Amino acid sequence: MTTDLHGKIALVTGSTSGIGLGIARILASVGVDIALNGFGDAEAIDALCEDISATNGVRVIHDGADMSKPDEIESMMKRVAGDFGTVDILVNNAGIQHVAPIESFPPEKWDAIIAINLSSSFHTTRFALEDMRKKGWGRIINMASAHALVASPHKSAYAAAKHGLAGLTKTTALETAQDGITANAICPGYVLTPLVENQIPDIAKIRGITEEQVISDVMLLNQPTKRFVKIEEIADLALFLCSDGAASMNGMCISVDGGWTAQ
């Protein structure tokens, strides 16, 4: 990839762990300054910022805004644009999960999943677009899921939020198509991150099966490769979407799911 992203600024929400951290690392490796976001131990996050910065010679900051709170998102967007620089690459990645049948799905979990996995992307996008339009360049990458395209039992809020994120992605793409901005959604299958590891005991309990069976008979059942998707496979795609070569890829929901949604 020949595109020079050196000196561009990326905000990656939910990047203290898992997929978001993988995307932050690959963007930093090509010279992109990084604004991290997400929860975690303050000292560990400081060490993470220092490590990414020292390894790649880029600037790295962290903002701990809670993506379920629009006022905190607004403050984060203003702080990043003011102190760090206007956002060129916005990766809406923060997400949570809760599995339960609809009748016993806690309404507060529904609200939290819709807020974090869907509405936060609307809020970050609405604050980022003006500067991207002024520069005539921008990349918006929304971390959707195979669950943006198909559903699974017990994931009502997650599937609803991710299907919604696909709609937001397409609308953003259409509204910005002539401004040098692209908006795309990445739709991973199962990736072994803390978000997935934490579901295993709950799914085992709901279905009355062992944790090993959750992996083989539930999670990898529909993933034809019979292995978890690697974080690096998603990060590589995110990097490509930031390149000039991807300038005509717009409004897409791109599956990285080992063939799950081909069935």
Cite the DSSP H helix spans in 193-242: 194-197, 199-207, 211-213, 231-241
Q: How far is the CB of 180 from ligand NAD (least distance, A)?
A: 26
Which range in 2-10, 38-46, 53-61, 240-248 contacts ligand NAD by CB under 6 A?
38-46
User: What DSSP character marks residue 51?
Assistant: H
Q: How many CB atoms lie within 10 A of CB 99?
A: 21
Distances (CA, A) of 230 to 18, 192, 206, 214, 224: 10, 8, 27, 19, 14
Distances (CA, A) of 62 to 12, 42, 88: 10, 10, 17
Which residue from 9, 12, 6, 7 is spatially nearest to 235, judged by alpha carbons? 12
16 contributes a contact to ligand NAD by CB under 6 A: yes
Q: How far is the CB of 96 from ligand NAD (least distance, A)?
A: 5
Which range in 32-40, 49-57, 103-111, 149-157 contacts ligand NAD by CB under 6 A?
32-40
Q: Which of 158, 190, 228, 260 is catalytic?
A: 158
254 contributes a contact to ligand NAD by CB under 6 A: no
List the structure tokens of 111: 């609200």
Show the binding pattern over residues 164-203: x = contacts ligand NAD (CB under 6 A), - = does not: ------------------------x-xx-xxxx-------
Instruction: Count the residues of the shown chain that bind ligand NAD, applying the rule CB under 6 A.
Output: 29
Helix 42-56 with 18-29: angle, nearest 10 deg: 30
89 contributes a contact to ligand NAD by CB under 6 A: no
* 254 neighbors 16 (Cβ within 8 angstroms): no
258 contributes a contact to ligand NAD by CB under 6 A: no
> 3-state class of 244 per DSSP?
helix
Q: Quick check: is 190 catalytic?
A: no
Show the binding pattern over residues 39-68: x = contacts ligand NAD (CB under 6 A), - = does not: xx-------------------------xxx
CB nearer ligand NAD, residue 62 or residue 134: 62
Interface residues toward ligand NAD, by CB under 6 A: 14-20, 37-40, 66-68, 93-96, 116-117, 143, 145, 188, 190-191, 193-196
Catalytic (active-site) positions? 158
